[in-house]
Amino acid sequence: MLPNPSGARLTSVLSARRSHAAFHTSASRRAAGDRMTGTLPSYGPVGVARALDASSATGTNPTLFAKEFSLADRVALVSGGNRGIGLEMALALVEAGTRIVYCLDLPEKPGDEFTKVREYASHLKGTGGEARLEYVSADVTNQNAMWKIGKTIGDREGRMDVCVAAAGILRGDTPCLTYPAKQFEEVIAVNVNGVLYTAQAAGQQMDRFGNGGSIIMIASISGHGANQGHPWVSYNTSKSAVLQMARSMACELGPKRIRVNTISPGYINTSMTGQFLAKRPELVEVWSSHNPLGRIGRPDELRGIVAWLASDSSSFCTGSDILVSGGHHAW
Ligand SMILES: NC(=O)c1ccc[n+]([C@@H]2O[C@H](COP(=O)([O-])OP(=O)(O)OC[C@H]3O[C@@H](n4cnc5c(N)ncnc54)[C@H](O)[C@@H]3O)[C@@H](O)[C@H]2O)c1
Compute, in angstroms, the gap from residue 62 CA to the centroid of ligand 1.
Answer: 37
Number of independent structural domains in the chain: 1
Cβ atoms 221, 323 nearer than 8 A? yes
pLDDT computed for residue 32 by the predictor: 67
Q: What is the pTM of this model?
A: 0.91
The 10s digit of each residue's pLDDT in 47-75 is 999 988 866 566 788 999 999 999 999 99
pLDDT computed for residue 130 by the predictor: 75
Compute, in angstroms, the gap from residue 168 CA to the centroid of ligand 1.
Answer: 4
End-to-end CA distance of the chain: 90
The 10s digit of each residue's pLDDT in 100-137 is 999 999 999 999 999 999 999 999 987 666 779 999 99
CATH of the domain at 182: 3.40.50.720
Percent of the chain at pLDDT > 90 equals: 79
Q: Is residue 100 part of a domain?
A: yes
pLDDT computed for residue 46 by the predictor: 92
Q: Is residue 323 part of a domain?
A: yes
pLDDT computed for residue 4 by the predictor: 42
* Closest ligand 1 atom number to CA of residue 139: 32
pLDDT computed for residue 5 by the predictor: 37
| Average pLDDT of the chain, as a whole number | 90
Strand partners, 203: none
Task: Catalogue the active-site residues.
Answer: 220, 235, 239
Q: Whose CA is nearest to atom 21 of ligand 1?
A: 84
DSSP H helical ranges for 123-231: 143-157, 181-188, 194-209
Q: Is the pLDDT of residue 200 over 60?
A: yes
Q: Is residue 7 part of a domain?
A: no
Q: Is residue 221 part of a domain?
A: yes
Cβ 106 under 6 angstroms from ligand 1: yes
The domain in which residue 110 lies consists of 64-330
- Longest CA pairwise span in the chain (Å): 105
* Closest ligand 1 atom number to CA of residue 87: 16
Please compute the mean of the pLDDT values over residues 231-248 and round it to a whole number. 98
Model confidence at 13, in pLDDT bands (50, 70, 90)? very low
pLDDT computed for residue 34 by the predictor: 77
The 10s digit of each residue's pLDDT in 246-263 is 999 999 999 999 999 999
Please compute the mean of the pLDDT values over residues 253-281 and round it to a whole number. 97
* Closest ligand 1 atom number to CA of residue 189: 31
Q: Is residue 51 part of a domain?
A: no
Strand, helix or coil at 14? Answer: helix
Please compute the mean of the pLDDT values over residues 180-197 and round it to a whole number. 98
CB under 8 Å to 93, separation ≥6 — which residues? 71, 74, 76, 78, 101, 162, 164, 306, 307, 310
The 10s digit of each residue's pLDDT in 75-89 is 999 999 999 999 999
Q: Is the pLDDT of residue 151 over 70?
A: yes
Compute, in angstroms, the gap from residue 208 CA to the centroid of ligand 1.
Answer: 28
Q: Is residue 8 part of a domain?
A: no
Q: Is residue 87 part of a domain?
A: yes
Q: Is residue 53 part of a domain?
A: no
